[in-house]
Amino acid sequence: MKILVPVKRVVDYNVKVRVKSDNTGVDIANVKMSMNPFDEIAVEEAVRLKEKGLVTEVIAVSCGVAQCQETLRTAMAIGADRAILVETDVELQPLAVAKLLKALVDKEQPSLVILGKQAIDDDANQTGQMLAALADLPQATFASKVELASDKVSVTREVDGGLETLALTLPAVITTDLRLNEPRYVTLPNIMKAKKKQLDTVKPEDLGVDVAPRLKTLKVTEPAKRGAGIKVADVAALVEKLKNEAKVI
């Protein structure tokens, strides 16, 4: 059984992002980049399934600039067996990534695709669902527990009212939530081993996919600074301010 794990290179979650002076986007020059935390959870889960003897191969995939190789090496240090980089300098939007992943799914024929529910840069939460639709595969999102058995996978997912358990027939797509697992610490020996693992590079045109952006970002601004709170004497005063000042009721 083969698992495909897409990973994204994003600004490290510890870094406070800055908006460019011309408001065209986020400034990532000389900023620490790392693997998207939700994708790190996905890699960890795939490696754990392999360690249980349920999976034979874990393939990490990333789409983007050449520096994404570093992210893929991290995935292989966690335990992925090999990696594929779809290299492009074009700003990739969720639909383009989903189309690239669909092409790789057709090529590699994995039994399972596990990816983070969203990336912490755009917070889109779209790629997994779009991939499932394009590839016509069953999907389970926001997974907090995954149990694999022969040709089926049981996924416990978090919903507003509690937990929901789905049974999917393989092949399938799963997106991971925070409580699925805690990724392991990557050791130096594993980092060195990862440098020797196979990393293939392809271009979007090799996969027959058009990745031209369909959406245009008009302006990026920082959120307005939150004002200081105030105390009110009673409920009547609170209602009056909510109605006449905040205008929310």
Tell me the per-residue pLDDT of 78-114, one tens digit each, with 9 for 90 and over: 999 999 999 999 999 999 999 999 999 999 999 999 9
> What distances in angstroms separate CA 83 from CA 50, 95, 108, 149, 212, one per listed residue?
16, 21, 12, 25, 24
| Domain edges within the chain | 2-244
Predicted local distance difference test score (pLDDT) of residue 227: 80
Residue 181 has pLDDT above 90, yes or no: yes
Predicted local distance difference test score (pLDDT) of residue 29: 83
Predicted local distance difference test score (pLDDT) of residue 139: 96
Most confident of 24-38, 93-107, 219-233, 235-249: 93-107
Which has the minimum average pLDDT: 37-41, 69-73, 152-156, 213-217?
213-217
Predicted local distance difference test score (pLDDT) of residue 222: 85
Q: Nearest Cα to 13, choosing from 118, 89, 114?
A: 118
Predicted local distance difference test score (pLDDT) of residue 131: 97
Give the DSSP H/E element, type plus range, for residue 115. strand 112-116
Collapse the DSSP code of 36 into the 3-class scheme (helix H, G, I; strand E, B; otherwise coil) and give the result: coil
Residue 118 has pLDDT above 90, yes or no: yes
Give the DSSP H/E element, type plus range, for residue 91. none
Report residue 30's pLDDT band, with 50, 70 and 90 as the boundaries.
confident
Which residues are CB-neighbours of 40 under 8 A, at least 6 positions away?
7, 78, 116, 183
Tell me the per-residue pLDDT of 129-165, one tens digit each, with 9 for 90 and over: 999 999 999 999 999 999 998 889 999 998 888 899 9
In CATH terms, the fold of domain 2-244 is Rossmann fold (3.40.50)
- The predicted model scores a pTM of 0.85
Tell me the per-residue pLDDT of 198-232, one tens digit each, with 9 for 90 and over: 999 999 999 999 999 998 888 888 888 888 888 99
**Cβ contact 26:11 at 8 Å:** yes
Residue 245 has pLDDT above 90, yes or no: no
Average pLDDT over residues 108-130: 94
Q: 147 pairs with which residues across the strands?
A: 154
